[in-house]
Structure 1
Amino acid sequence: MNDPNPAPRELRATAPPGPRRGHLPLGEPEGAPDRIDVNARWIERAGRPWFPTTGEIHYSRIPRNRWNDVLGHARAGGLDSIATYVFWRAHEPEPGRFDWSGDLDLRAFVRLAAEHGLDVVVRLGPWAHGEARHGGFPDWLVARDLKARTDDPDYLALVRPLYAAAVAQLRGLTHAEGGPVIAAQVDNELYDQPGHLATLRALAEELGLRVPIWTATGWGGAQVPDTLLPVYGAYAEGFWEDADVEWPAFAPIHFRYSEVRDDLSVGADLREALDGVAAANPEDATAAPATPFATCELGGGMHVAYHRRPLVTGEDVAALALAKIGSGSAWQGYYMYAGGTQRSGSQGPEQESHESGYPNDVPALTYDFNAPIGEHGQIRPHHHFLRRQHLWLREDGHRIAAMGVQIGGGGEDPEELRWSVRSDGRSGYLFLTTYQPPKRPLASQPGVQFTVHFDDGPVTVPSEPVDVPAGHSLVWPLRYPLTPDLTLRSATAQLLTRLDDLVVFAATDGIPAELVLGDGTPVHLPSPPGPNCIADLPGVRLLVLDEASANRLYQLDLAGRERLVLADAPVHADRGDLVVHPETARVTVAVLPAPPAFVAEGADLEPPRDESPWRTWTLTAHDTGPVPLSAELKPGGPAPEPRRGGPMDRLSAPDDYSSAAEIRIDVPDFGGADRALLRLAWTGDTGRAYAGDRLIGDHFWHGRVWDVDLTPHRDAVAEHGVRLELLPWRRETGVWVDPAVRDVADGTTLDAATLVRVGRVRLHAEEDPS
Structure 2
Amino acid sequence: MIITPESKISFDPVSIIVDGKRVFPMMGEMHFSRYPKKYWEEELCKMKAGGIDIVSLYVIWIHHEEIQGEFDFTGDRCLRDFLATVKKCGLYSILRIGPWAHGEARNGGFPDWLLLDAKDKGYEVRTDDPRYLEHVKKFYEKTYEQAKGFFIKDGGPVIGIQIENEYGHVGGKNGEEGEQHMRTLRDMALSIGFDAPLYTATGWGGAVTGGMLPVMGGYCEAPWDPRTTEIEPSGNYIFTKERNDHNIGSDHGLGAGITFDMSKFPFLTAELGGGLQVTHHRRPIATGLDTAAMTMVKMGSGANLLGYYMYHGGTNPKGKLTTLQETKETGYPNDLPAYSYDFNAPLREYGQMEDTYREVRLISSFVHDFGSDMCDMPYVAQPGNPLKPNNLTDIRTSVRCKKRNLADGRECYSGYLFVNNYQRRYKMADHSDVELTAYADNGEVICKFPKRDLKDGDFFFYPFNMPIGDKALLTIDATPVCKLDNYDGKGHSAYVFYTDSDEDTKSDVQGDLDGNNIVTITRKEAVHSTKVNIGGRDYLIVSDGEAVTAADGNVELYFEIVDKCSMKPMFRAFPTLEHTPSSFNRLKEAGKVENFASSDVFAIYEGKNEYTNTTVAAFEAKEKSEESSKYEISVSDMPENSSEVFIHIDYKGCDAEMFRNGDVIADNFYTGQEWEIGLKRFVGSPKDGFSAEMNIRPLKEGMAIYLQNWPELKDGAICKIDKISSLAQFKEVIS
Does TM-score exceed 0.5, indicating one fold? yes
Q: Does 1:663 align with 2:631?
A: yes
Counterparts of 2:145 and 2:541 in 1: how far apart (Å)? 40
Seen in structure 2, the aligned counterparts of structure 1 residues 256 and 626 have a Cα distance that, compared at 3 Å, is farther
Q: Does 1:388 align with 2:372?
A: no
CA contact under 8 A between 2:9 and 2:18: conserved in structure 1?
A: yes
1:680-732: CA deviations, max 9, x gaps? 11221111112332312111111111012322322699587222111222131
Q: Does 1:411 align with 2:387?
A: yes
Counterparts of 2:577 and 2:293 in 1: how far apart (Å)? 35
Counterparts of 1:720 and 1:577 in 2: how far apart (Å)? 31
1:344-373: CA deviations, max 9, x gaps? 122353111122221111101110000000
Counterparts of 1:489 and 1:757 in 2: how far apart (Å)? 44
Seen in structure 2, the aligned counterparts of structure 1 residues 540 and 561 have a Cα distance that, compared at 3 Å, is closer
Q: Does 1:168 align with 2:145?
A: yes
1:289 Cα deviation after fit: 4.2
Specify which of 228, 234, 239 is matched with residue 218 of structure 2.
234
CA contact under 8 A between 2:471 and 2:513: conserved in structure 1?
A: no
Amino acid at match of 1:206: S
Q: Which residue of 2 aligns with 1:750?
A: 721
Q: Which residue of 2 aligns with 1:210?
A: 195
Q: Which residue of 1 aligns with 2:85?
A: 112
Q: Which residue of 2 aligns with 1:103?
A: 76
Counterparts of 2:201 and 2:141 in 1: how far apart (Å)? 19
1:617 Cα deviation after fit: 2.6
Query: Where does 1:493-504 land on structure 2 (aligned, <5 Å)?
Result: 493-500=479-486, 501-504=493-496
Q: Does 1:54 align with 2:23?
A: no
CA contact under 8 A between 1:622 and 1:673: conserved in structure 2?
A: no
Q: Which residue of 2 aligns with 1:505?
A: 497
Q: Which residue of 1 aligns with 2:414?
A: 427
Secondary structure of 2:465's counterpart equals strand
Counterparts of 1:636 and 1:243 in 2: how far apart (Å)? 32
1:675 Cα deviation after fit: 1.6
Q: Which residue of 2 aligns with 1:34?
A: 7
Counterparts of 2:191 and 2:167 in 1: how far apart (Å)? 22
Q: Does 1:311 align with 2:282?
A: no
Give the number of aligned pairs.
682
Q: Does 1:246 align with 2:249?
A: no
CA contact under 8 A between 1:623 and 1:757: conserved in structure 2?
A: no
Counterparts of 1:415 and 1:758 in 2: how far apart (Å)? 44
CA contact under 8 A between 1:678 and 1:754: conserved in structure 2?
A: yes
Q: Which residue of 2 aligns with 1:591?
A: 573
CA contact under 8 A between 2:397 and 2:417: conserved in structure 1?
A: yes
Q: Which residue of 1 aligns with 2:331?
A: 357
Counterparts of 2:670 and 2:361 in 1: how far apart (Å)? 29
Counterparts of 2:732 and 2:330 in 1: how far apart (Å)? 44
Counterparts of 2:421 and 2:606 in 1: how far apart (Å)? 38
1:594 Cα deviation after fit: 4.6
Q: Which residue of 2 aligns with 1:177?
A: 154
Specify which of 550, 566, 588 is matched with residue 542 of structure 2.
566
CA contact under 8 A between 2:395 and 2:421: conserved in structure 1?
A: yes
Q: Does 1:468 align with 2:454?
A: yes
Q: Which residue of 1 aligns with 2:732?
A: 761
Counterparts of 1:365 and 1:664 in 2: how far apart (Å)? 20
1:626 Cα deviation after fit: 7.1
Query: Where does 1:499-578 land on structure 2 (aligned, <5 Å)?
Result: 499-500=485-486, 501-510=493-502, 512-518=504-510, 538-574=514-550, 575-578=552-555
Amino acid at match of 2:110: F
Specify which of 180, 186, 209 is matched with residue 195 of structure 1.
180
Secondary structure of 1:144's counterpart equals helix
Counterparts of 2:690 and 2:255 in 1: how far apart (Å)? 53
1:295 Cα deviation after fit: 0.9
Q: Does 1:692 align with 2:661?
A: yes
Counterparts of 1:262 and 1:553 in 2: how far apart (Å)? 33
1:256 Cα deviation after fit: 0.7
1:89-133: CA deviations, max 9, x gaps? 122233333222221221221222222221101101111111111
Amino acid at match of 1:663: Y
Counterparts of 1:285 and 1:300 in 2: how far apart (Å)? 25
Seen in structure 2, the aligned counterparts of structure 1 residues 698 and 320 have a Cα distance that, compared at 3 Å, is same
1:292 Cα deviation after fit: 0.8
Counterparts of 1:100 and 1:620 in 2: how far apart (Å)? 45
1:586 Cα deviation after fit: 2.9
Counterparts of 2:275 and 2:307 in 1: how far apart (Å)? 13
1:335 Cα deviation after fit: 0.4
Identity %: 29
Q: Which residue of 1 aligns with 2:432?
A: 446
Seen in structure 2, the aligned counterparts of structure 1 residues 32 and 636 have a Cα distance that, compared at 3 Å, is closer
Q: Which residue of 1 aligns with 2:642?
A: 673
Counterparts of 1:606 and 1:339 in 2: how far apart (Å)? 36
Counterparts of 2:49 and 2:117 in 1: how far apart (Å)? 45
Seen in structure 2, the aligned counterparts of structure 1 residues 622 and 344 have a Cα distance that, compared at 3 Å, is farther
Q: TM-score, normalised by structure 2?
A: 0.88
Secondary structure of 1:563's counterpart equals strand
CA contact under 8 A between 1:303 and 1:368: conserved in structure 2?
A: yes
Q: TM-score, normalised by structure 1?
A: 0.84
Seen in structure 2, the aligned counterparts of structure 1 residues 285 and 157 have a Cα distance that, compared at 3 Å, is closer
Q: Which residue of 1 aligns with 2:49?
A: 76
Specify which of 581, 589, 608 is matched with residue 610 of structure 1.
589
Counterparts of 1:562 and 1:111 in 2: how far apart (Å)? 28
Q: Which residue of 1 aligns with 2:117?
A: 144
Counterparts of 2:290 and 2:713 in 1: how far apart (Å)? 23
CA contact under 8 A between 2:283 and 2:707: conserved in structure 1?
A: yes
Gapped runs of 5+ residues in structure 2?
A: 169-173, 404-412, 487-492, 562-566, 592-600
Secondary structure of 2:672's counterpart equals coil
Counterparts of 1:257 and 1:286 in 2: how far apart (Å)? 21
Tell me which stretches of 4 or more aligned residues in structure 1 moved more than 6 Å: 620-623
Q: Which residue of 1 aligns with 2:679?
A: 710
By relative contact order (CA 8 Å, sep 6+), the higher-ranking structure is 1
Specify which of 466, 482, 498 is matched with residue 480 of structure 1.
466
Specify which of 707, 714, 717 is matched with residue 737 of structure 1.
707
| Root-mean-square deviation (Å) | 2.6
Amino acid at match of 2:462: W
Counterparts of 1:32 and 1:348 in 2: how far apart (Å)? 42
1:181-211: CA deviations, max 9, x gaps? 1111011111122211111111111011211
Counterparts of 2:54 and 2:556 in 1: how far apart (Å)? 20
Seen in structure 2, the aligned counterparts of structure 1 residues 607 and 328 have a Cα distance that, compared at 3 Å, is closer
Seen in structure 2, the aligned counterparts of structure 1 residues 104 and 33 have a Cα distance that, compared at 3 Å, is same
Counterparts of 2:214 and 2:260 in 1: how far apart (Å)? 14
1:314 Cα deviation after fit: 1.0
1:444-479: CA deviations, max 9, x gaps? 22221133355998543323x211111011111011
1:421-452: CA deviations, max 9, x gaps? 00113211000011011x22211222211333
Seen in structure 2, the aligned counterparts of structure 1 residues 539 and 742 have a Cα distance that, compared at 3 Å, is same
Q: Does 1:94 align with 2:82?
A: no
CA contact under 8 A between 2:656 and 2:697: conserved in structure 1?
A: yes
Secondary structure of 2:234's counterpart equals helix
1:571-626: CA deviations, max 9, x gaps? 210122112222124321233445444556xxx54456423354433226777537
1:395 Cα deviation after fit: 0.8
1:531-571: CA deviations, max 9, x gaps? xxxxx954211111111110121112334544322222122
1:321-361: CA deviations, max 9, x gaps? 11000111111110000000011122353111122221111
CA contact under 8 A between 2:207 and 2:259: conserved in structure 1?
A: no
CA contact under 8 A between 2:696 and 2:720: conserved in structure 1?
A: no
Q: Which residue of 2 aligns with 1:369?
A: 343
Q: Pick which of 606-615 and 352-361 moved more.
A: 606-615
